[in-house]
Structure 1
Amino acid sequence: MSETLSTFSLKPGDGAPDFNLPAPDGTMHSLGEVAGSAGLLVVFACNHCPYVIHLAEILGDIERDYRDQGLKVVAISSNDIEKYPQDAPELMEKFAAESRWDFPYLYDATQEVAKAYGAACTPDFFLFDKERRLFYAGQMDDTRPRSGQKPDGSDLKSAIESMLAGKQAISHPRPSSGCNIKWIPGNEPSYFG
């Protein structure tokens, strides 16, 4: 399992790139529909990545902890499903249910949304404020799948708390780490490699 770090191509203050993506049941979800009154956490994820599996349940807990404060969460899978059929949309609903995700889990078949966000790995976290401006892009916490430590979401929760309290974001967050997004051959972004 090789670890990839996020590229951080979106900078603090950048606007959230728009999208309109399907859930596994075919219903479409746009950025405007999934954003909360206080902010939006966009997570690039997939079903098979050990890093996503390691953090999946606490991600559901974080969404439940902050939803009443107006923060919404959306997960997006952008992996090449021809080479990685375990990430296919028909399996996403089951993964989300097992992970106790009560938020949309969408499929980016063209990988254009992942490119627009500069997503590099799964999971990759992008926290936007109520104006849909990037507040935080970084790791959830210091734990890793083989660390033997249970994830606590400390870095991400600290960023959410700061955003909701109107404080400044930390200036040099640790990048997300995980498995690289599985790009469709010939579709790799310029920042990959």
Structure 2
Amino acid sequence: MPTPKPIAGSILAPMSFPRLGGGEVSVGGTKNNWTLLVVYRGKHCPRCKKYLNILNDMRADWSEAGFDIAVVSADSLEKAEADQKEFGWNFELGYGLTEDQMAQLGVFVTEPLSASEAERRFAEPGTFVIRPDGSLLLISISNGPSARPELGELLDGMIFTKQNDRPPRGTV
């Protein structure tokens, strides 16, 4: 039986991933700030690089709005290091996302087309906004690389949501 998809308003159980540079990237549970969690497909995905480069350029805007940024893929340490070195990303970059964690987040999982794409199953894109109490405000998952929330629009909407204490939507 498939794992049920997460529901907006539900509490995301704490989970953590190894972080590039040491330590862990942790999401879910109680935090001081809101969290923007971005799950990306991995090193093999050029669309992911474009998206994450935009996010990296917007780090200060997200931080000023009260958000911590966490980014993770199922990639190995070596692949995550290669991407960070090539692109100079300055957000918390996690790696080693497990299939159990993919199921907990409700992201789609893909079998690689070849070993050159990825050496194991990987997550398709997911973008999540998590309130400081650990509840999921926004869940955006895609079954392919071409559909993701536009980050400027998302930030604008999240600022409005915070300022006006808007509830999660799509809960029915």
Which of residues 12, 19, 39 in structure 1 aligns to 2:8? 12
Work out whether 1:107 is the aligned partner of 2:98. Answer: no
Q: Secondary structure at the match of 1:9?
A: coil
Give ranges in structure 1 of 5+ residues lacking alignment.
1-7, 79-86, 146-150, 173-193
- C-alpha displacement of 1:36: 5.5
Work out whether 1:131 is the aligned partner of 2:133. Answer: yes
Asked if structure 1 preserves the Cα contact closer than 8 Å seen for 2:12 and 2:28, the reply is: no
Distance 1:60 1:94, change over 3 A: same
Q: Secondary structure at the match of 2:53?
A: helix
- C-alpha displacement of 1:9: 1.7
Q: Match of 1:163, as an amino acid?
A: T
Q: Match of 2:100, as an amino acid?
A: E
Distance 1:37 1:53, change over 3 A: same
Work out whether 1:41 is the aligned partner of 2:36. Answer: yes
Distance 1:24 1:162, change over 3 A: same
TM-score, normalised relative to structure 2: 0.69
Q: What number of residue pairs does the alignment pair up?
A: 150
Q: C-alpha distance in 2, partners of 1:36/1:159?
A: 21
Distance 1:138 1:31, change over 3 A: closer
Q: C-alpha distance in 1, partners of 2:94/2:50?
A: 20
Asked if structure 2 preserves the Cα contact closer than 8 Å seen for 1:36 and 1:72, the reply is: no
Between 1:51-60 and 1:21-30, the stretch displaced more is 21-30
Give ranges in structure 2 of 5+ residues lacking alignment.
109-122
Q: Secondary structure at the match of 1:163?
A: helix
